Amino acid sequence: MAGEESQIQPAATPWAALAGVIATVSVFAIAQGLSYPLLSFILQRQGMSSSLIGLSAAMTPLGFILSAPLIPWLSRRFGAGRTALSCAGLSALLLALIGWQQNVFLWFPLRFLLGFSVNPLYVISETWMIMLTPPAKRGRIMGVYTSVISAGFALGPFTLALVGTQGWPPFIVGISAFMLCGLCLSRVLPKIPELDIDHEERASVGLFMPQAMLLLFAVFAAAVFEQVTLTLMSVYGQGHGGPEARISALLAIFVAGNIALQIPLGMLAERHGSHRALMFCALTAAFGCLLLSWSFNSVFVWPIAFIWGAVSFGIYTMALIELGERFSGSMLMAGNAAFAMVWGAGGITGPPVTGAVMDLVGVQGFPLTLGMLCLALAAAQAIWRRR
C-alpha cells in the first residue's frame, strides 16, 4: 500500500490548486504588511505616544488569539471555503472603516475585529496548503509557501514608499488587495477538495494543544524572534553606535534571508527529517545571537544577518512540515488555529519581555534573550527525541 501511494502521489499533485492558494496568501500578506506601518505612521502624525501606538497595534494579534479557537467550529458550521471568502470581504470592509474613521479610540475595536476576521483566512489557507501538498514534496512546497508570506509582508511597506501614507491611496491598495484575495479564492475553491472535518467534531484547539506542546513552543519561539528583531533591532543597533541607515539595511538583509532560504531549508527537512532540520535552525539561530555582538560593526554582520533571518523563520517552516506529517482532518485545522494563537501570543509578549531584559542588563539583553529561547527549544527537542 505504501509503495502504491508513493507511485501515485507525484502524479496526483494538485498544482493548480496549490498555485491558487499561494496566490491568495501572497495578496493577503501584502495587505497585512501594508496595514501595520501605515496605521503607525498615521498615529505618529496625530501626535500619539509610542505606548499608545504599540497598544493599538497589539489589537490585531489579540484578535488572532481570541478568534483561533472558533475557526474549527466556523469551518464545520459554514464550510472552510465560505468562511475564508467571507473573511476576505469582511477584512476589506474593516480596513475601509479604519480609513474612513481615523480616530485612535475607534481603531482599537476595528483593529481587533480586523485581526479576528483575517485569522480564519490565514489558518484555512495554511490548512489547505498542508492538505494539498504530497508528503514527498512537503518540505520544498511549504518552503515556497513561507517564502511567499515573507515576501508579501515585505512588499507591504515597499508599496507605501510608492503610494505614500497620506489620504486614501494606501487604504485603497490594502482594500483592493483583500478584494483580490477574495477573487483568487473564488477561482481556486472549485479546485480544492472539501476539508474532511465532519468525522472529528470534537477536534479543537484545546484538544490539539496537549498533543503538540513542542510544536507550539517552536511556533512561539519563531514569533518572538521575528517580532523582537523587527521591533528592537533599532534599539540594539543604536546601542552599538550604528546609524539608522545601517540598521535598516540589516533588517532588510534579515528579511531577505527569510525569503530566500526557506526552500533550501524545506529540502533539508525532506532529506534529514523535520526534527533534525528544526534542531539545526534553532542551534544556528542561537549561534547567530552569539556572533551578533562580535560582528555588528564589521563586514561579517551581513552574511550573519542573512542566515539569521532564514533559520529563525525556518523554525516555523519546520513546525508546519511536522504538523502535516502528524495530523490530518479537523485536527490539522485545529493545529493551524493553535499555531495562529501561539504566534499572536509570541508577538505580544516577546518585545516587552525582551525590552525589560534590555533595561536590566543593557542592549546585550537583545541577543541574550533570543539566544536563550533558541537554546531552550533545542534542548526541549533533544529531550523529546530521547523519550
Same domain, 88 and 223: no
User: Which of 178, 195, 212 marks a domain boundary?
Assistant: 195
Same domain, 257 and 348: yes
When pLDDT is averaged across residues 252-260 and rounded to a whole number, the result is 87
When pLDDT is averaged across residues 305-312 and rounded to a whole number, the result is 92
Same domain, 335 and 264: yes
Q: Is 7 domain-assigned?
A: no
When pLDDT is averaged across residues 37-53 and rounded to a whole number, the result is 77
Helical packing angle, 301-326 and 274-295, nearest 10°: 160
User: Which of 195, 213, 240 marks a domain boundary?
Assistant: 195
pLDDT in tens, 213-244: 999 999 999 999 988 887 788 788 878 887 77
Which pLDDT score, from 0 to 100, does residue 378 have?
Answer: 95
Q: Is 5 domain-assigned?
A: no
Q: By CB neighbour count within 10 A (0-12 exposed, 13-18 middle, 19+ buried), where does 205 fall?
A: buried
Going by pLDDT thresholds of 50, 70 and 90, the confidence category of residue 201 is: low
CA dihedral 129, 151, 262, 254 (to 10 degrees): -150
Backbone angles phi, psi at 242, to 5 degrees: -80, 135
Per the prediction, the chain carries an average pLDDT of: 85
Higher pLDDT, 54 or 354: 354
pLDDT in tens, 101-110: 878 889 899 9
Which pLDDT score, from 0 to 100, does residue 5 have?
Answer: 39
Residue 248 in this model has a pLDDT that exceeds 80 = no
SS3 47: coil
Which residues form the domain of 370? 204-387
Residue 258 in this model has a pLDDT that exceeds 60 = yes
Which pLDDT score, from 0 to 100, does residue 296 have?
Answer: 86
- C-alpha cell, 357: 531584559
pTM for the model: 0.85
pLDDT in tens, 262-299: 999 999 999 998 989 999 999 999 999 999 888 888 88
Same domain, 364 and 230: yes
Same domain, 161 and 231: no
Which whole-number Å values give the CA distances from 150 to 155, 182, 290, 301, in the listed order?
9, 20, 25, 21
- C-alpha cell, 347: 508577538
Same domain, 42 and 180: yes
Which pLDDT score, from 0 to 100, does residue 377 have?
Answer: 96
pLDDT in tens, 85-106: 999 999 999 999 999 987 888 9
When mean pLDDT is compared across 32-46, 61-75, 344-358, the lowest value belongs to: 32-46
Backbone angles phi, psi at 363, to 5 degrees: -65, -20
Residue 317 in this model has a pLDDT that exceeds 80 = yes
User: Which of 195, 222, 248 marks a domain boundary?
Assistant: 195
Going by pLDDT thresholds of 50, 70 and 90, the confidence category of residue 321 is: very high
